[in-house]
Amino acid sequence: MEEQDYPIRVHVAIRRSPDEVWPYITEVEHWNEWNAARLSSAEWEEGGKLHWEVGGFSSILEPLNPARMVHFQLVGAFTQDTVFTLEPSGDGRSTEFTVHEKYAGVSLSDGGATKRRRWESDLARLKKLAESEATPASASEEGEPFLGRIHELIAAGEKFEAMKLYAKTTGKGPDLAKKYVDEVASRMSGGHGSSTRAERREVTVVGKTLEEAQAKLQALIPADGLLLKSKIANKGERRITESGSTVDEAFAKAEKKLLGEEEVILRRVISEPVERTVTVKAPDPDRARDLAKQSLAEGEKVVQVTELTAGRRRLLGLVSAVNEYCVVIRVKKAVVEVVCSCPAEIRATISQSEQVGEDSAFETAGTWTPTNPKFASHMPLSDLQRIFIFTDGNGQTVLDSPVATGTLQDTAEAPLKDFMGKVQFDIIARSNVASQIQQTGQFPESAWAAMSKIDSAVTQKARAGTYRSVVRVVADPRTKEQGVFVLIYRM
């Protein structure tokens, strides 16, 4: 990239490393917190599309260079070319974030001053946002809330990785990180200092639906194994974006790209075609078309010439026809999106723990004996899909509470060692969900929203009644901490 080719350049220094700033660019919810041009969805890969809330999309032009550079382009009545670069400071703890932008097919009357002010305002918000809070939860390796990920690493025997992630996400020093990880590891091993080694295995499972792929993945996890991490490579759908002179033409082009047994499940118009008209005086339609072409901007096309009025005039004794034509110019094509069904794919890392010492992970739970049978979910443990834990504390001690772990075991009707580490769980700290439930008697909308940000597919099915949600409110009289367990089961 040549600097002189990009007349608009705005930069800001952010007291965060490039790795910590990167999620504010690539996660839609974080992007929309600082950028005035809001995204509705984004595919951060070469050839991927950034879909804007106002309509239309930009295309990623080059292979993504994570935490270093992204280059995208908006093409319409004019072309807008934008590059973000992130340069680390000498110690790697700060970032020089620069926006490079240029335009073609349009003249900026103020020399780009308005665009620079807009970017200066956006980058000021980005700087304030990034420096005022810890790294977003999505900056963890799999985009999961960080405490759940740390517990998975500890259960897998990867204490050093757990310490690094804890320190990076909380901003606390190595001593506090080591203390927290050691405490959790001790609790998992029953306090006897035992540890585990794990045989790691990378697997890829495919199913006709996401639910089928998830079931296949669960079947691959050994009885004494753990699901260390998983990533949904494909949710069972593929998106095709196409453009055309009309909406129907664009849909027809998109549907020609369907493969095999793929079926269309959704059609969406991203933007309608845009046209403008000009009036031209010429002796014939071909000359009218040629005259209109002389005024076209980049990307525009003459699509129709219609005679409006016929005229005659006398010149040096000769009669010459001068007609008036209406010329239709297409400024922007129609853009559509077709969503079709395709096999779902999940990539995961699983392990089978090898015991070292006398105890194994989660042995502290022992054999489960119900203390409060009324909490029982009466659902098969094999159908448990996900656990969400809301707490008004900092989230670091919620599973230390005998009241909390007892309630969780009573609800699942199984000891912790039978499902913790095998079923994904997420801790949402500093939440007032418990008090809201006590005041209103209803599960609050804010809790659904928090769950949806973590796993929208499972949350939608729980809200629709396709999956069953079991909610339990607990309060620890010793710590005064209140929490809510949400266990979601496949029905």
Instruction: Express each pLDDT in 171-185 by its tens digit.
Output: 566 666 777 777 777
Predicted local distance difference test score (pLDDT) of residue 362: 34
- Give the range among 289-293, 326-330, 403-407 with minimum mean pLDDT: 403-407
Residue with tokens 């076209």: 296
Structure tokens at 298: 């980049």
**Each residue of 477-486: pLDDT tens digit?**
777 788 899 9
Instruction: Answer yes or no: are the C-beta atoms of 309 and 323 closer than 8 Å.
Output: yes
Question: How far, CA to CA in Å, does 365 sit from each of 174, 266, 359, 418, 433?
Answer: 29, 47, 11, 9, 27
**Each residue of 399-437: pLDDT tens digit?**
667 778 888 888 888 887 788 767 887 888 888 888 888
- Higher-pLDDT residue of 257 and 317 is 257
Structure tokens at 76: 């319409």
Q: Indicate the pLDDT class of residue 55, thresholds 50, 70 and 90.
A: low
Helices (H), 294-432: 402-412
Predicted local distance difference test score (pLDDT) of residue 97: 93
Predicted local distance difference test score (pLDDT) of residue 189: 56
CA–CA dist 290, 279 (Å, integer)? 13
Q: Indicate the pLDDT class of residue 487, thresholds 50, 70 and 90.
A: very high
CA–CA dist 460, 403 (Å, integer)? 30
**Each residue of 299-327: pLDDT tens digit?**
788 889 998 877 655 455 554 567 888 98
| % the chain with pLDDT above 70 | 78
314 strand-pairing partners: 319
CA–CA dist 145, 148 (Å, integer)? 6
Q: Which fold has domain 3-138?
A: Alpha-D-Glucose-1,6-Bisphosphate; Chain A, domain 4 (3.30.530)
Instruction: Answer yes or no: are the C-beta atoms of 474 and 485 closer than 8 Å.
Output: yes
Predicted local distance difference test score (pLDDT) of residue 169: 65
Q: Which residues 6+ apart lie within 8 Å of 182 measured at CB?
A: 159
Predicted local distance difference test score (pLDDT) of residue 226: 60
Q: Which residues 6+ apart lie within 8 Å of 464 measured at CB?
A: none
Predicted local distance difference test score (pLDDT) of residue 454: 85
| Residue among 429, 414, 424 nearest 483 (CA) | 429
**Residue range 203-232: average pLDDT?**
74
Predicted local distance difference test score (pLDDT) of residue 100: 92
Helices (H), 112-158: 113-132, 146-155
Predicted local distance difference test score (pLDDT) of residue 211: 76
Instruction: Answer yes or no: are the C-beta atoms of 309 and 292 closer than 8 Å.
Output: no
In one-letter notation, the amino acid at residue 46 is E
Predicted local distance difference test score (pLDDT) of residue 58: 83
Predicted local distance difference test score (pLDDT) of residue 141: 34
Q: Which residues 6+ apart lie within 8 Å of 95 measured at CB?
A: 13, 14, 16, 17, 18, 20, 21, 86, 87, 88, 89
CATH number of 274-332: 3.30.1660
The structural domains of the chain, with segments of one domain joined by +, span: 3-138, 237-271, 274-332, 366-491
| Residue among 159, 194, 156, 218 nearest 351 (CA) | 156
